Amino acid sequence: MAANFFQVKPSAKKAGKEKERVVDPNLQPWVEKYRPKTIDDVSSQEHIVAVLEKTLSSTNLPHMLFYGPPGTGKTSTILALSRQLFGPDNFRTRVLELNASDERGISIVREKIKNFARQTPRAQAVASDGKSYPCPPYKIIILDEADSMTQDAQAALRRIMETYARITRFCLVCNYVTRIIEPLASRCSKFRFKPLDSSSTTTRLEHIATEEKVAVTPPVISTLISTSSGDLRRAITYLQSAARLSAASNPVAPITSRDIQEIAGVVPDSIVNKFAKTLGIDIPDAVDEYGDVEMADVGKTSNNTLRGFDLIREEVRGLMREGYSASQILTQLHDLVILHQTLTARQKSSCALVMAEADKALCDGADEELWILEVALRVNKAVNS
Amino acid sequence: MLWVDHYRPRSLDDLHYHEGLSDRLRSLAASGDFPHMLFYGPSGAGKKTRIACTLKQLFGPGVEKLKIDQRVFLTPSRRKLDVNIVQSNFHIELTPSEVGNYDRVVIQEILKEIAQTQQVDLNAKQRFKVVVINEADSLSRDAQAALRRTMEKYMSNMRIILCANSTSRLIAPIKSRCLLMRVAAPNPAEMKAVLSYVASRAGAGSIPDEAADEIISDANGNMRKAILVFEALKMQTPDLSGPLSIAKPDWETYCHKVADMIVKEQTPQQVMEVRSKFYELLSHCIPPTIILKTVADRVVERADESLKADIMHWAAIYENRMRLGNKKIYHLEAWVVKVMSLYKHFLFDIDMTGFED
């Protein structure tokens, strides 16, 4: 750590900052560690990368609006781009990154953002690492998670964006483009980030696994992909957590698909299947995907005195006691019902209806047990009708 | 001191059930590569106990030296917020949902403050501090959004441990940044083991099997409740023999009374009676959701099989409306009337098809 102080640094302040940034790479989250350094590294967003490459050579940049589901590389792209544009030295003076954890009310827009937009910092001609950077004559303001900004704050940005367009570029990053007010959206060129396809996720995960010397098998990778549904950050976090757990256990245990599911908070298939069976949904009795033997019979014998309503209620109570989250149960039950082979379309649609209602209720903060019970009863009714 | 507190496990080795979980926690604490964590599970399953044990494993006995602080935060509109904070040299514990909608301010201030100070104690085992956030599932969306980037940015100085009953109301970005730790309620055998352990430690000898079974079935997986009931019973009948009557809390008996009234008679007068009972319960600060659930459970026990599903259906609907609405009593009443009309129709065999909504 001390060695940093003896390196030649432009200013003392910088040296302090530098020290803060040096973290033992082993303790860093992999998400940060393997954030793309250049925009070429960004996985699976070829179109966007191609467009931005152009701006690198022409050093002209429009205002930008990045939107797309979480974990698709929006923040990574803009950070990598600005790093490539300005290099490590100018990056600090030329880029302002604000996210939802910073206060971003209207006063901040008026003061902090406006002040930053107004200045014209002098570029440092020679980069300390000896490379040359384009360093165009404008600054970049990154507004991360812009959809959580208030309407007023967004409205206050409108004029600022135009007035200082000569020396400042804005990059808004958000999940839901509809939450950005129209006047702002129309000032930006929009880039839609699509969910990652499984092949590029696989490549990236395998790359990280080999870098970190973690042994992963193809089924583990496929579980990672299916549990994270296109969110690369989530997949990487799960992988790191699993690697941590397996490395920490003694003796070192290989990562299994079950570990990943537990980390992701997914309800084990055997439990969902058993629940579905109680509801009268026909589940083919088989050894499931991961080779676990079905556990359904164990519960059956103890419960067979109960029937109908009481049986279902008992089952729901059990699920709640296990601590599984209601929304997760709902999602998995939904997948099971909708993809089921023998249920009729009518049955499926009435199940879908009740699940939609339940999801809304859960979002409103309704009681989980009551609603899972409600879903269970109505699904049962639909299936038996 | 209450037995619950007195015999609470203090270290990971003392924990009684979920061995696998304890092993994981122990190895994580030892690895030096400690992630953000999210503990979730039903109440009384031992989430807090596990968090405390993990902290002790991380930092040693120093974390048990707690001090309680009252901090004042200023909202952007200059309103003052008082928040109680429990902290040791190594960790800080707070319940931001205490301040309702302003929880974002508290989260931002506290996290920034912790994140920007490094551990100064050179003897500390870890270089980071831990922030424990209770009732994370009642954090507002803004507050959760404020956590997102902070959790990544200040990873070097700080770890966050969230404690929640369910993950349903946490936004996905938070969940994906944490290591999820599910703490399930203990099963009856495990509860029995804990009860007999407490009994022997408390010098109460052994606990008779029937008594233990009774307590366990009453507690429904809630270890805290089980131990509290056990202690109360011990006070009543020191030898725990003979038929035990677990004293139900009086609101519960009151709720059962209400349920019996609903089943017994379905008239406008009865609705008025029930209404006054509900008011009584509400004025004693019994949460309306609990009232509805307890009453519904009881009604369902009494009702005919064909009505049960409908009764629960309307309970779910009105419970949800109660959350959205303002006056709780309206929705409780509406449910009662609904149930009574269902009952009447069932008894007089009136065709209900026209009244589905």
Q: Residue range A53-70: average pLDDT?
A: 85
Two structure tokens written together for A330: 């709902």
Residue A27 and residue B156: Cβ atoms within 8 Å?
Answer: yes
A324 touches chain B (CB under 8 A): yes
The pLDDT > 90 percentage for chain B reads 13
Q: Which residue has the higher pLDDT, A147 or A10?
A: A147
Q: How far is A93 from chain B (nearest CA, A)?
A: 19
Same domain, A250 and A145: no
Query: Does the pLDDT at position A356 exceed 90?
Result: yes
Q: Helix/strand/coil (H, E, C) string of chain B?
A: CCHHHHCCCCCHHHCCCCHHHHHHHHHHHHHCCCCCEEEECCCCCCHHHHHHHHHHHHHCHHHHCCEEEEEEEECCCCCEEEEEEEECCCEEEECHHHHHHHHHHHHHHHHHHHHHCCCCCCCCCCCCEEEEECCHHHCCHHHHHHHHHHHHHCCCCEEEEEEECCCCCCCHHHHHHCEEEECCCCCHHHHHHHHHHHHHHCCCCCCCHHHHHHHHHHHCCCHHHHHHHHHHHHHHCCCCCCCCCCCCCHHHHHHHHHHHHHHHCCCHHHHHHHHHHHHHHHHCCCCHHHHHHHHHHHHHHHCCHHHHHHHHHHHHHHHHHHHHCCCHHHHHHHHHHHHHHHHHHHHHCCCCHHHCC
Which among A241, A326, A362 has the least Cβ separation from residue B179?
Answer: A241
A105 touches chain B (CB under 8 A): yes
Residue B148 and residue A101: Cβ atoms within 8 Å?
Answer: yes
Q: What is the pLDDT of residue B162?
A: 93
Structural domain total, chain A: 3
Residue A103 and residue B324: Cβ atoms within 8 Å?
Answer: no
Q: What is the pLDDT of residue A296?
A: 41
Same domain, A182 and A206: no
Same domain, A257 and A339: no
Length of chain B equals 357
Same domain, A50 and A136: yes
**Chain A environment of B312 (Cβ under 8 Å):** 370, 373-374, 377
Query: Does the pLDDT at position A3 exceed 60?
Result: no
Domain boundary, last residue among A225, A241, A264: A264
Strand, helix or coil for residue A168: strand
Q: Residue range A311-321: average pLDDT?
A: 87
Same domain, A89 and A168: yes
Sequential DSSP letters for A54-94:
HHHHH-----EEEE-STTSSHHHHHHHHHHHHHHHHHHHHH
Residue B309 and residue A377: Cβ atoms within 8 Å?
Answer: yes
Same domain, A85 and A165: yes
In B, minimum Cα distance to A264 occurs at B180
Same domain, A113 and A256: no
User: How many C-beta atoms lie closer than 10 Å to residue A255's C-beta?
Assistant: 24
A25 touches chain B (CB under 8 A): no
Q: What is the pLDDT of residue B132?
A: 92
Which among A31, A70, A365 has the least Cβ separation from residue B172?
Answer: A70
Same domain, A40 and A181: yes
Residue B167 and residue A378: Cβ atoms within 8 Å?
Answer: no
Q: Are B131 and B96 in contact (CB under 8 A)?
A: no
Q: What is the pLDDT of residue A362?
A: 87
Examine residue A4 and state whether it is found in any structural domain, yes or no: no
Residue A27 and residue B33: Cβ atoms within 8 Å?
Answer: yes
Examine residue A72 and state whether it is found in any structural domain, yes or no: yes
Examine residue A12 and state whether it is found in any structural domain, yes or no: no
CA nearest B50: which of B137, B138, B132? B132
Two structure tokens written together for B69: 């602080």
Examine residue A104 and state whether it is found in any structural domain, yes or no: yes
In A, minimum Cα distance to B173 occurs at A70
**Chain A environment of B168 (Cβ under 8 Å):** 325-328, 362, 368
Query: Does the pLDDT at position A4 exceed 70?
Result: no
A258-277 residues touching B, CB cutoff 8 A: 262-265
Domain boundary, last residue among A220, A235, A264: A264
Examine residue A352 and state whether it is found in any structural domain, yes or no: yes
Q: In Å, what is the CA distance from A31 to each residue of A80, A287, B119, B153?
A: 14, 35, 24, 11
In B, minimum Cα distance to A228 occurs at B176
CA nearest B161: which of B84, B105, B88, B91? B91
Two structure tokens written together for A13: 């302040």
Round the average pLDDT of chain A to a whole number and report it.
79
Residue B148 and residue A378: Cβ atoms within 8 Å?
Answer: no
Q: What residues does each domain of chain B span?
A: 18-182, 188-236, 250-356
Backbone angles phi, psi at A224, to 5 degrees: -55, -45
Residue B27 and residue A234: Cβ atoms within 8 Å?
Answer: no
Q: How far apart are CA B323 and CA A367, in angstroms?
A: 9
CA nearest B56: which of B113, B122, B130, B156? B130
CA nearest B96: which of B154, B153, B35, B162? B162
Which among B152, B220, B315 has the least Cβ separation from residue A370?
Answer: B315
Same domain, A41 and A132: yes
Query: Does the pLDDT at position A287 exceed 50?
Result: no
Q: Which residue has the higher pLDDT, A289 or A75?
A: A75
Q: What is the pLDDT of residue B201?
A: 83
**pTM of the full predicted structure?**
0.78
Same domain, A78 and A182: yes
Examine residue A8 and state whether it is found in any structural domain, yes or no: no
Query: Does the pLDDT at position A290 exceed 80?
Result: no
Residue B323 and residue A365: Cβ atoms within 8 Å?
Answer: yes
Q: How much is the ipTM here? A: 0.83
Q: What is the pLDDT of residue B304?
A: 83
In B, minimum Cα distance to A32 occurs at B152
Q: How far is B68 from chain A (nearest CA, A)?
A: 26
- How far is C-alpha B203 from the chain's CA centre? 30
Which residues are within 8 A (CB) of B182 and not within 5 positions of it... i.e. 6 or more apart? A262, A265, A322, A323, A324, B40, B41
Give the sign of the dihedral formed by CA B290, CA B292, CA B297, CA B299: positive
**Chain B environment of A237 (Cβ under 8 Å):** 176-177
Give the confidence band of A20 by pLDDT, cuts at 50, 70, 90: very low
Domain boundary, last residue among A239, A264, A289: A264
Residue A326 and residue B166: Cβ atoms within 8 Å?
Answer: yes
Residue A320 and residue B42: Cβ atoms within 8 Å?
Answer: yes
CATH class, B250-356 region? mainly alpha
Q: What is the pLDDT of residue A224?
A: 87
| Rounded mean pLDDT for each run of 10 residues along chain B, 357 residues in total | 84 84 83 83 89 89 87 83 87 85 84 78 77 88 82 81 87 81 88 87 77 83 87 78 73 90 88 91 89 90 85 91 88 92 81 54
Whichever domain contains A75, its CATH number is 3.40.50.300
Determine the residue among A367, A368, A381, A385 to mutate to test chain B binding: the one whose Cβ has the most chain B Cβ atoms within 10 Å.
Answer: A367
Q: In Å, what is the CA distance from A106 to each residue of A83, A109, A157, A185?
A: 28, 5, 9, 18
Which residues are within 8 A (CB) of B57 and not within 5 positions of it... i.e. 6 or more apart? B11, B12, B25, B26, B29, B30
**Domain extent at residue A354:** 269-383
Q: What are the tens digits of pLDDT across the range A98-151?
A: 876 666 677 777 788 888 888 777 766 666 676 777 778 888 889 888 887 888
Determine the residue among B24, B73, B168 to mutate to test chain A binding: the one whose Cβ has the most chain A Cβ atoms within 10 Å.
Answer: B168
Whichever domain contains A222, its CATH number is 1.10.8.60
Same domain, A235 and A142: no
Q: Helix/strand/coil (H, E, C) string of B221-254?
A: CCHHHHHHHHHHHHHHCCCCCCCCCCCCCHHHHH
Strand, helix or coil for residue A131: coil
Which among A100, A317, A369 has the least Cβ separation from residue B148?
Answer: A100
Q: What is the pLDDT of residue B12?
A: 84
Q: What is the pLDDT of residue A8?
A: 42
Q: How far is A58 from chain B (nearest CA, A)?
A: 32
CATH architecture of B18-182: 3-Layer(aba) Sandwich (3.40)
Q: What are the tens digits of pLDDT across the range A203-252?
A: 888 999 898 888 888 888 888 888 887 788 888 888 888 887 787 766 67
